[in-house]
Amino acid sequence: MQYGYVKAIKDISVANQVDTLISHKIDKKHIHTALDDIPTKQGDTILVCRLDVLNMTFGQLYHYFIDLQNRGVCLFSLTEEVNTMDQAFMKAFKNLHNNEVNVRGELGIRSRKKAIAAGKKPGAKLVIGPEQEKVIHDLLKNGYSFKQIHEAIGIDRKTFYWWRKRNNVDISNIISP
């Protein structure tokens, strides 16, 4: 069975996409506007006018293609002439994906080294410093509520909860408003 997928994008309307898919022998009742609504099974094909109607990042597109391939479903893009059942295409796409992952990793390493060379400490900034931790522990011992503590320290509630969870702080004796 052949299905079509359409989605409004900047320079091609849904109506134009529908007309294009119909001209490629897709029955109008098999044209969908949500990928999850397409009832595909092994041997089916999904046609799109262009890959950008899928609205996915390169990594998301790669994993979607792999999922379709594992289920025996073909995705064909009319403009780019992409066919996910074409092994040569999928091998090239996998290599591009792996290269992208490697480049991002290398950029992260370079950025970290550059920060260290500039005298900066790598990693996330401490939101709750040692002085604030001491104040928090004192307030906890005195039975202050979450709201009173995070307001006294000047941090938001989520940060306080994150800190408590990360540091395994027992709060069983505290009543939160």
pLDDT at 51 over 80: yes
Is-contact 134 141, C-beta < 8 A? no
CB within 8 A of 52, min separation 6: which ones? 9
How many C-beta atoms lie closer than 10 Å to residue 177's C-beta? 6
State residue 125's pLDDT score: 61
| CA–CA dist 107, 129 (Å, integer) | 29
Of 12-21, 56-65, 130-139, 148-157, minimum mean pLDDT range: 148-157
pLDDT at 150 over 90: no
pLDDT at 177 over 70: no
Is-contact 112 124, C-beta < 8 A? no
pLDDT at 149 over 90: no
- Nearest C-alpha neighbor of 7 from the set 45, 38, 41, 39: 38
Q: 70-90: string of b/e by CB count within 10 Å (b at 16+)?
A: eeebbbbbbeeebebeeeeeb
For residue range 94-141, list pLDDT tens digits in order: 999 999 989 988 998 998 898 889 888 776 566 788 888 888 888 888
Q: What DSSP string runs through the chain? A: -EEEE---BTTB-HHHHHHHHHHTT--GGGEES-GGG----TT-EEEES-GGGG---HHHHHHHHHHHHHHT-EEEETTTTEETT-HHHHHHHHHHHHHHHHHHHHHHHHHHHHHHHTTPPPSPPPSS-HHHHHHHHHHHHTT--HHHHHHHHT--HHHHHHHHHHTT---TT----
| CA–CA dist 131, 163 (Å, integer) | 14
pTM: 0.60
Is the CA virtual torsion 106, 112, 113, 114 positive or negative? Answer: positive
